[in-house]
């Protein structure tokens, strides 16, 4: 019996159906992204080449990708790519996959009026998306990016290299402000911005997370104690020491945390204002606090 010739269209139909049967969210999109990745084609090109036959040199690795996706490996870890604010980033299991909410954080910084190049510190840079995008948009700014995870810093550095901003971003490893204190023991590090998308998931929420997140993304990037506020509390308390006059602390927070975070900021005398910014889904996900 002649072997079946698989065309692009057959593979997409079969795979999306199989993903759907296995409760994979966005089955068609995932099938297209994975096949496009393997064939080196954009999703549009796949549609233009719908009738193109696909041979065993690609069928075998495609089967492997399907198996991994069924085991809930996130698509971005399978392709090692994530597009974010129109730029391409390398990602793997060492870093959190950047989320759309974080675009709002970056846009809030970029749309705030400034009269001189800013000195900005990003804590917990992960894949480096925040620091890299800010560097690309503001080449005059002086940026420092840190992470507790050396593994994550290696990914961030790779992304900074790809986007030609390694000379603009200084990468340091360590726990929150410790690396800053280490290079400036007398406290002369004065930043106009301290930015962080911290871990903010409650330990107790582990069971309720999707397996894509729970089983693959780094725990250190997700969880922050029993109430999810362990890192945020430290950031609010410690940031004023490192902020210049009129400097800003800007954080991404969980969707149920805005009231508690507002109270934490209002009870810290160093801050003179606190603003909550809503995301595209009308949830208060960004907090901007200023010192006088």
Residue numbers at the binding site for ligand SAM (CB under 6 A): 96, 98, 102, 123-127, 129-130, 146-149, 152, 175-176, 197-199, 220-221, 231
**Considering beta carbons, is residue 221 or 291 the nearer one to ligand SAM?**
221
- Chain centroid to CA 269: how far? 31
Interhelix angle 27-39/8-21, rounded to 10 degrees, is: 140
**Considering beta carbons, is residue 127 or 257 the nearer one to ligand SAM?**
127
Q: Which residues pair with 278 in a beta bridge?
A: 284
The nearest distance, CB 161 to ligand SAM, in angstroms, is 17
The nearest distance, CB 31 to ligand SAM, in angstroms, is 26
**Considering beta carbons, is residue 35 or 239 the nearer one to ligand SAM?**
239
The nearest distance, CB 9 to ligand SAM, in angstroms, is 35
**Considering beta carbons, is residue 15 or 132 the nearer one to ligand SAM?**
132
Residues 6 or more apart in contact with residue 5 via CB below 8 angstroms: 53
The nearest distance, CB 2 to ligand SAM, in angstroms, is 49
Residues 6 or more apart in contact with residue 174 via CB below 8 angstroms: 146, 148, 182
**Considering beta carbons, is residue 11 or 145 the nearer one to ligand SAM?**
145
Q: DSSP state, 31?
A: H
Q: From 140, 178, 176, 173, select the one nearest 156 (Cα to Cα).
A: 173
Residue 178, both tokens:
């410790």
The nearest distance, CB 139 to ligand SAM, in angstroms, is 20
**Considering beta carbons, is residue 24 or 97 the nearer one to ligand SAM?**
97
**Considering beta carbons, is residue 120 or 221 the nearer one to ligand SAM?**
221
Q: DSSP state, 273?
A: E
The nearest distance, CB 194 to ligand SAM, in angstroms, is 12
Quickly list DSSP for 100-156: THHHHHHHHHHTS--SSPPEEEEES-TTSHHHHHHHHH-TTSEEEEEES-HHHHHHH
The nearest distance, CB 4 to ligand SAM, in angstroms, is 42
**Whole-angstrom Cα distance, residue 89 to residue 128?**
9
């Amino acid at each position: 019996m002649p072997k079946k010739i698989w065309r692009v269209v057959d593979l997409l139909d079969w795979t999306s159906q199989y993903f759907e049967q296995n409760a994979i969210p966005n089955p068609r999109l995932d099938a297209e992204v994975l096949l496009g990745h393997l064939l080196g084609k954009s999703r549009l090109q796949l549609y233009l080449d719908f009738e193109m036959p696909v041979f065993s040199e690609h069928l075998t690795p495609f089967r492997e990708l399907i198996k991994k996706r069924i085991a809930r490996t996130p698509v971005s870890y399978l392709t090692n790519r994530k597009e974010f604010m129109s730029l391409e980033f390398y990602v793997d299991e060492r870093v959190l996959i950047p989320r759309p909410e974080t675009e709002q954080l970056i846009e809030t910084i970029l749309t705030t009026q400034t009269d001189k190049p800013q000195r900005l510190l990003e804590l917990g840079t992960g894949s480096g998306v925040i620091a890299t995008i800010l560097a690309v948009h503001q080449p005059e700014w002086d940026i420092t990016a840190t992470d507790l995870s050396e593994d994550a810093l290696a990914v961030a550095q790779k992304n900074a290299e790809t986007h030609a901003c390694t000379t603009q971003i200084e990468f340091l490893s360590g726990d929150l402000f410790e690396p800053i204190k280490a290079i400036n023991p007398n406290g002369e590090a004065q930043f106009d911005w301290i930015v962080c998308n911290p871990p903010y998931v409650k330990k107790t929420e582990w069971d309720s997370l999707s397996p894509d997140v729970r089983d693959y993304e780094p725990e250190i990037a997700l969880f922050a104690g029993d109430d999810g506020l362990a890192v945020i509390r430290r950031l609010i308390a410690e940031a004023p020491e490192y902020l210049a006059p009129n400097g800003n602390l800007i954080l991404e927070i969980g969707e149920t945390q805005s009231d508690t975070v507002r109270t934490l900021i209002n009870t810290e005398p160093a801050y003179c204002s606190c603003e909550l910014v809503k995301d595209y889904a009308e949830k208060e996900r960004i907090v901007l606090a200023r010192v006088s």
